[in-house]
Structure 1
């Protein structure tokens, strides 16, 4: 009899210890970390109340708290799309997003945690929106009008994610890749445009140089014409006398002596007049 009572007492003590251990392991207190919100589930049923950051009470076993991050998440998505001119384009897109803190319970109930948000909502939505936006532009426009493409993706994706309680913080086009053939064609086109611009520059430079040469020639011609118009016989005589050193050639070769017809005759006439006046 006594041994039976001892066994029953041991079983009761064991049950109490196990219950205490279970309650202690479950914990009546829960801490919601910074940047998170707590989703309350009573026996698996999501509640309307959302726990903010900090320390909270809960009923062990019955209540479970699931913490969901409301921080900004960054997800890189590589999409292969077709352009308006049927070119194959690969777009590397970075999407910054976060769960709406006021709707974390609805997001967790309908979608799941952050990983499931990316797999079930973000990847399909981004792929679909990028394909629709890229199909409106030629491959060259996708490259040259990236801000417009980004703005369209941003606006459409924002509207899509709001429905699921996800807030879009921004979209970045990290990289745009084309097929090797199309990239070579773009490079050849750019080289041709640069060569054409260089040819135009060379032609314009040659034209300017030709105009400058014509202007210089006109200037020289006008200068020569002006000089010729001012070179009277008297001026030529004076310049010749200024350049003459006053010496006659020592050996006469039959050529006319300089200034004989002009200056010497004038000197003789002047000398004869002076002698007549003296007499």
Structure 2
């Protein structure tokens, strides 16, 4: 009977020992996957040196391992600022970033979790960086020169996040909006510009028409001068005869049925009349 009880106790003790060994084994190792880094905290104190991918030994029961994702993270962060002309400009940025593996321990000591990093570091620094970029230009310049605005924002954000062990890979302006008052001002400005352009077009058209009249007047004067010189030359009477005939044609009158020329060959204008106008006695 005593032997049976002794055997039972031994079996129980052996089972307990094996259980403790298994439990210790499970709590003595940690596996870090690719793209991750871990920080061991023993009794609440973070140890130096990050744990990179692979299997690592840790003190059982008294240690905790915080694992950080080192792959590219993406978060959208809103921001609002006043421009150089004191207009309100709102934006929403998509920020791609990575945690520097060499700074993981410091990040754990100062910031904690990834959620804290976004809420306490990235979001406020995004706001401040946007203020720097927006304050350098008017709201119209911010909209028409969006690339320059983004470049200034990227530079300011990278410089601010670098000291926290956060590497900015890329940013995108998801949305950029301005106040309704400015929207109305833009619309009114566009209407005024269109009216001004129309007025300029009308003025230019009138100027061109006036110039055309001047050119026509000059051309007519030149033609008259040439005609006068031609009349002075020999054979000028032929020109006068041609002009007289053309005048009858363009005036719509019937050509005379009788053409009477003077005896003097130097007569410059033919004497023309319509015999139909002669009344019988």
> What range describes the TM-score normalised by the shorter chain of this pair?
0.7 to 0.9
2:190 pairs with 1:190: yes
Q: Which residue number corresponds to residue 56 of structure 1? A: 55
Change in Cα spacing, 1:73 to 1:236, as seen in structure 2 (3 Å) is: farther
Change in Cα spacing, 1:160 to 1:230, as seen in structure 2 (3 Å) is: same
The answer on whether the counterparts of 2:40 and 2:66 sit within 8 Å (CA) in structure 1 is yes
Change in Cα spacing, 1:66 to 1:229, as seen in structure 2 (3 Å) is: same
- C-alpha distance in 1 between matches for 2:200 and 2:138: 28
Q: Which residue number corresponds to residue 279 of structure 2? A: none
Change in Cα spacing, 1:160 to 1:240, as seen in structure 2 (3 Å) is: closer
Q: Which residue number corresponds to residue 128 of structure 2? A: 128
- C-alpha distance in 2 between matches for 1:209 and 1:97: 64
Deviation at 1:117, TM superposition (A): 0.7
2:211 pairs with 1:211: yes
Change in Cα spacing, 1:65 to 1:141, as seen in structure 2 (3 Å) is: same
Q: Which residue number corresponds to residue 230 of structure 2? A: 230
Deviation at 1:132, TM superposition (A): 4.8
- C-alpha distance in 1 between matches for 2:102 and 2:70: 10
After superposing the two structures, state which structure 1 stretch, 158-167 or 118-127, moved more: 158-167
Q: Which residue number corresponds to residue 39 of structure 1? A: 39
- SS of 1:49's partner is coil
The answer on whether the counterparts of 2:89 and 2:179 sit within 8 Å (CA) in structure 1 is yes
Count, aligned residues: 252
The answer on whether the counterparts of 1:32 and 1:67 sit within 8 Å (CA) in structure 2 is no
Deviation at 1:135, TM superposition (A): 4.5
Q: Which residue number corresponds to residue 264 of structure 2? A: 262
Cα deviation digits, residues 204-242 of structure 1 (max 9, x gap): 23322332342233223313421332134624338859x
Deviation at 1:184, TM superposition (A): 1.0
Change in Cα spacing, 1:95 to 1:238, as seen in structure 2 (3 Å) is: closer
5+ unaligned residues in a row in structure 2: which ranges?
Answer: 246-256, 268-281
- C-alpha distance in 2 between matches for 1:217 and 1:187: 45
- C-alpha distance in 2 between matches for 1:215 and 1:223: 12
After superposing the two structures, state which structure 1 stretch, 189-198 or 215-224, moved more: 215-224
- C-alpha distance in 2 between matches for 1:204 and 1:67: 73
- SS of 1:50's partner is coil
Q: Which residue number corresponds to residue 20 of structure 2? A: 19
RMSD: 3.4
Q: Which residue number corresponds to residue 250 of structure 2? A: none
The two structures have a TM-score, normalised by structure 2, of 0.73
The answer on whether the counterparts of 2:80 and 2:130 sit within 8 Å (CA) in structure 1 is no
Q: Which residue number corresponds to residue 75 of structure 2? A: 75
After superposing the two structures, state which structure 1 stretch, 155-164 or 77-86, moved more: 77-86
Change in Cα spacing, 1:45 to 1:200, as seen in structure 2 (3 Å) is: same
- SS of 2:235's partner is helix
Deviation at 1:48, TM superposition (A): 2.2
After superposing the two structures, state which structure 1 stretch, 62-71 or 158-167, moved more: 62-71
Deviation at 1:180, TM superposition (A): 1.7
Change in Cα spacing, 1:264 to 1:185, as seen in structure 2 (3 Å) is: closer
